[in-house]
């Protein structure tokens, strides 16, 4: 039996519906109703808090020209001078996961169970991964816990911020929401794959071939091998010129106009990792912590080709800080008048 979940979604986000191949709740009907109620209540409370904070004048935000987009797919905007550049993506559907014969050995953790996700409203997503410059602006404004992550000596500026854990990323989107008066957040697992695929069905948004990687993504290639040889992971036979992170936007974007959705740094998602056919639990929904780890997506500068795929999913602890993980933000679009 196929179940369309319209209230209990990935992290219970209202703009995403999953169609899962599992039977509906029978014995745990009460629990499911409670989870749905909690999720909807949390959504309403968050939206009210953001609105009240913006109206109070305590955020320091000021109206920006063109800050409220017209919600036209492909429209690019910024809500402030130091805010991430965003692009509007349309509603649509996406088939998540990878057919079993195409999953590389040892890297298909749960993705072989394909399922369809319905994104029922347009939203905005960062054109680039959040950069050091954008993170540093948050710190200078008194946000992000005052935490200044190290850059490994690779440079700051337009390189993607690294050495940030899930809680750090959540602190950034809370600050950005307060500054702009709009709801910024991390993408859900399904939203991320939807924007990464951008309408494609191949292993990568540019196709199935690894040999095209160096035009589209910063991954483990001959440049990386020369700097850091790995005896068990052969590099792609091309050279992109970057052994570590690259400035955002250095590679060809996907059809939605997003750069570095594969490679450069893995990106935190808002979801706890779970096998696709298993329901969320109350701890996942409230986002307090994950027993199973937080989802990361996209691979990174040192990732071998098997992980630079649209369906690949990692599951580190939410407290992990390292040089391979960063994040990208999304923004909920308010109805236009």
Evaluate whether 255 touches 205 at the Cβ level (below 8 Å). yes
Does residue 90 belong to any structural domain of this protein?
A: yes
Mean pLDDT, rounded, for 150-172: 98
Residue 75 included in any domain: yes
**Is residue 336 in a domain?**
no
- Model's pTM, two decimal places? 0.77
What integer pLDDT is reported at residue 222 of this predicted model?
Answer: 94
Strands (E), the chain: 3-5, 16-20, 76-77, 86-89, 92-96, 115-119, 123-126, 184-185, 266-272, 294-297, 313-314, 325-326, 330-331
Total number of domains in the chain: 1
Sign of the dihedral through C-alpha 11, 16, 21, 25: positive
Domain housing 62: 3-331
Enter the tokens of residue 276.
């696709």
Could you tell me the CATH number of the domain that includes residue 159? 3.90.1580.10
What confidence tens digit (pLDDT) does each residue in 274-316 have?
755 344 443 344 445 677 789 999 999 998 888 899 998 888 9
Residue 264 in tokens = 């450069």
Instruction: Please state the rounded mean pLDDT for residues 3-28.
Output: 36
Residue 251 lies in a domain: yes
- Is the pLDDT higher at 142 or at 98? 142
105 pLDDT band, cuts 50/70/90, is low
In a domain, 337, yes or no: no
Give the orientation angle of helix 166-180 with respect to helix 132-140, to 10 degrees.
Answer: 70
State the average pLDDT over residues 39-51.
Answer: 46
Mean pLDDT over the full length of the chain: 79
Mean pLDDT of 227-255: 92
């Amino acid at each position: 039996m196929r179940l369309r979940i319209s209230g209990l979604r990935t992290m219970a986000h209202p703009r995403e519906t999953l169609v899962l191949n599992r039977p509906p709740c029978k014995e745990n009907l009460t629990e499911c109703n409670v989870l749905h109620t909690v999720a909807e209540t949390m959504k309403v409370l968050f939206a009210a808090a953001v609105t009240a904070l913006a109206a109070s004048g305590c955020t320091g935000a000021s109206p920006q020209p063109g800050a409220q987009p017209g919600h036209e797919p492909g429209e690019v905007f910024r809500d402030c001078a130091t805010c991430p550049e965003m692009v509007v993506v349309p509603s649509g559907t996406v088939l998540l996961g990878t057919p079993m014969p195409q999953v590389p050995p040892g890297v298909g953790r749960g993705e072989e169970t394909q399922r369809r996700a319905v994104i029922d409203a347009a939203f905005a997503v960062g054109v680039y991964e959040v950069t050091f410059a954008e993170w540093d602006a948050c710190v200078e404004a008194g946000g992000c816990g005052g935490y200044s992550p190290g850059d490994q000596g690779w440079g700051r500026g337009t390189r993607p911020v690294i050495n940030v854990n899930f809680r750090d990323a959540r602190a950034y989107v809370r600050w950005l929401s307060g500054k702009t008066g709009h709801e910024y957040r991390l993408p859900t697992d399904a939203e991320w794959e939807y924007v990464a695929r951008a309408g494609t069905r191949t292993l990568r948004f540019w196709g199935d071939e690894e040999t095209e990687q160096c035009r589209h993504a910063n991954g483990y290639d001959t440049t990386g091998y020369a700097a850091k040889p790995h005896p068990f992971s052969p590099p792609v036979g091309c050279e992109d010129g970057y052994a570590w992170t690259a400035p955002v936007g250095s590679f060809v974007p996907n059809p939605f106009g997003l750069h570095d959705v594969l490679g450069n740094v893995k990106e935190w998602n808002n979801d706890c990792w779970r096998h696709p056919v298993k329901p969320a639990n109350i701890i996942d929904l409230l986002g307090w912590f994950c027993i199973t780890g937080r989802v990361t997506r996209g691979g990174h500068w040192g990732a071998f080709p098997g992980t630079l795929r649209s369906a690949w999913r990692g599951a580190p602890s939410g407290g992990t800080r390292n040089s391979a993980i960063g994040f990208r933000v999304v923004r909920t679009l308010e109805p236009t008048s």
